[in-house]
Each structure stands twice: as C-alpha cells, then as structure tokens.
Structure 1
Amino acid sequence: MPRGLSCLASPEVRAGRYETPSASELHRLMWTKKGSSNHLDEVYPRIYIGDMYAAKDKRTLQCHHISHVLNAAHGKFNVNTGPSFYRDTSITYHGVEAFDMPSFDLSPFFYPAANFMKNALSSPTGKVFVHCAMGLSRSSTLVLAYLMIHEHMTLAGAIKAVSANRNISPNEGFLEQLRNLDKKLNCY
C-alpha cells in the first residue's frame, strides 16, 4: 500500500498531530469500554472475534453465515481445527500457529492474515470469524492489524472500534508489535 494512503486515516494523521499512544494509554482505551465476552461477537461489520468453543461449533458458525475462519491458535498444541475440520461446510480456513506469549513475534502474520480477511470481505456475503483460545489476545491483535492495514485506522481508532463490541486484551508483546505497525503506517 502506498504510504500516502495510510495518512488518510484520520484528521490527526493528516494534520501531522497523530502520535502512537503509549501502551498504558492503549490499555486505558481497552479497559474503559463495555464490550462483551461471548463465545462470538461481531466487532466490525462482518468481522467476528471469538473463542475455541465457537470455532468448534460449526452450527453456530453456519447460523451466523460465517464464510471464512481465521484461527490465530492453529496447531496440534493449540486449537486443533483446520480445513479438514470444516470440510463438511463451505467455510474457507486459514491458520496461524501463534502462541499467546509476549515474546512471540506475531507481526510476520499481520499482512497475510489481513489479506485473508480482506479477501473474505471482498464478497458482499463474506463474513470472517477470527479466533484463538479465549478470543482476547491473538485474535484481537490480528483484527486490529487488519483494521489498521486495510481500513486505514490508527491503532487507537481500531481499539475503540473493536472494544466497543468485545473485551480485548492483546498481550504486552503483541501490543508493542501493533504500536510499531501504527508508527510505520502513519507516516513517521
């Protein structure tokens, strides 16, 4: 994406007044919202975040007309679903084998996951469900990265949008990786 386009994100960015908030300011944004903690919540039009229980409930996914699943906890030692788990549905699957540890570098997955989500939403009926084990850290981090990359939101704007509908809590390492992405995308 051309750098100039990301500066269309907000008036603060265009005016050169935007600065990536500190981790403590971002935590405050997340903690002051009244989001929910259901197994599955719509956090942005046609984007859902949830937990492993919703991921394994194919009937619920079908009732919500989910067309794509992004598993941010893919793998044998995480939430072991995959394309074969959804083979009896029309769901398209993408897995990211990530661990919810501050030392885990999730940033190499930001663009591939964001592009998977963008592709899912390119269809007028596409709906994407992003999950990890609890639906708090890994999944929310990838949704926030999508909103920053493809919806041209600042990190603060993305957190406000998502946390209005769901309680989220990216771990400290993921939050720092998102702060770095925010700095890169917002022209400074």
Structure 2
Amino acid sequence: MSAGVNLDDCPLSTDMKESSGASCDIPSVGELECVLYGGKKTCNHVDEVWPDLFLGDMSMAHDRYGLWKLGITHVLNAAHGKMCCQGSHDFYGTTVDYYGVPANDLPTFDLSPYFYPSAHYIHETLNIPNAKIFVHCAVGVSRSASLVLAYLMIYHHLSLMDAIKRVKENRWIFPNRGFLKQLRRLDATLRREKSVE
C-alpha cells in the first residue's frame, strides 16, 4: 500500500482494493480512487493545472469570449463529436487550433490509443511561445483529466500518483475506473522503459 493512503479510512467500498497486476509498486485502482475522492470536491468551469495548461468543462468550451480572455490558443476536446460538446475548427475560427478526441466516458471505452497523440499535441502546444491550451470534456473530471494525466506521465515523467496529486492541487478530478486501469498500464510501461534506459 502506498504511503499516506489508508484504505480503511477511505469511504469507498473494500472491493476497490484490488490490483490489476500492472506492478506491485503502482497503487491499485482502489488506492487511486481513495486519493481522488479526498480533498477538494468542487471545481470551476476552468482551472490551470500546469503552467499554461487549463482543464475544464463544456460550459467553458462554449464560451469563446472567456477562452479569448484567458489567452487560449489551442483546444483539445476529449468529447469530440458528442452532442453536448461542440467543437471544431469552424466553431473556434482561425485564432484557436482545435484537436478532437471522440471519447466516451465509460469504463469500457479504450482511451489509451489517444494517450500519446494527445500528450504530443499538448507538448507541442506548450513549446510554442505564449501558447495556452484548454483541455476539456463534458465535466472536465474524467476523459480530459485522463489525457492531462497521461501528458504529465509521458512528458514530465511523473508517476500516475504524482500526476494525480499535481492536478488535484488545482482541480478536483475523478477518471472512471476503466481509465484508471489504462493509466496504471501506462505507468507500468513507462517505468519499464525507464528501467531499461
């Protein structure tokens, strides 16, 4: 069990204490959920969770003036094509670059094929002088949060737990269990690659 996580004090049920076998030193889904459940339980329509990286919901995504005031130059929509989440190059015009990921917020949806392309898009954006990126889905706590976590893991070499803690400093997030399992597998893969190096 990870230091500082006491599942006996966690309000989640004990069936969440399983490990999917990715690695014995990667926290289980239940341990991750316990950390995610704790702390601040509210979030704004948009929060800056990393320098020039904003995470938020569809309300903010539809507020083109609000995005302009924040200086947003790029938008990554993790709910592309969904009725509630408008988004396209036409919607934002020529001043904002748009990238859409057609994800469903279901534990059975495989978000992992989008981890690296989305992380690359975020990374490339943040390397442009004065660029700011807004990553969103419908609520801004599961699909989009998972893509931001993957970015921090891939490009900033944070463990999944450290990435979660970093984002939670500024925003409440709660990726669904399927996404957490996929992120655990990513964590295990990145650790293996690092150990080989």
TM-score range for the pair, normalised by the shorter chain length = 0.7 to 0.9
CA distance in 1, matches of 2:141, 2:154: 20
Following the alignment from structure 1 to structure 2, what is the Cα–Cα distance between the partners of residues 91 and 34?
31
2:92 to 86, 91, 96: 86
Max Rg structure: 2
Q: Does 1:138 align with 2:146?
A: no
Letter in 2 for 1:41: D
Give the corresponding residue for 1:74: 80
CA distance in 2, matches of 1:36, 1:100: 19
- Which amino acid in the other structure matches residue 122 of structure 1? N
Identical columns (%): 50
Q: CA deviation at 1:78?
A: 4.5
- Does structure 1 retain, via aligned residues, the 8 Å contact 2:107–2:176? yes
For residue 65 of structure 1, what is the amino acid of its counterpart? G
How far off its partner does 1:35 sit?
A: 6.3
Task: Assess if the C-alpha contact under 8 Å between 2:58 and 2:84 holds in 1.
Answer: no
Give the match for residue 24 of structure 1.
30
With structure 2 as the length reference, what TM-score do the two structures score?
Answer: 0.83
Q: What secondary structure sits across from 2:151 in the alignment?
A: helix
In the alignment, what sits opposite 1:5? none
| RMSD (Å), alpha carbons | 1.6
1:39-95, Cα deviation, whole Å (9 max, x unpaired): 0001111111100000000111011101110000000435121111001x5111000
Corresponding residue pairs, total = 171
SS of 1:185's equivalent in the other structure is: helix
Residue 34 in structure 1 maps to residue 40 in structure 2: yes
Judging changes above 3 Å, is the alpha-carbon distance between structure 1 residues 167 and 76 closer, same or farther for their aligned structure 2 residues?
closer
Instruction: Using CA pairs under 8 Å that are at least 6 residues apart, name the structure with larger relative contact order, 1 or 2.
Output: 1
Does residue 1:183 correspond to 2:188, yes or no?
A: yes
Q: Which runs of 5+ in 2 are unaligned?
A: 1-23
Q: Counting helix residues as a fraction of each chain, which structure ranks higher?
A: 2
SS in 2 for 1:148: helix
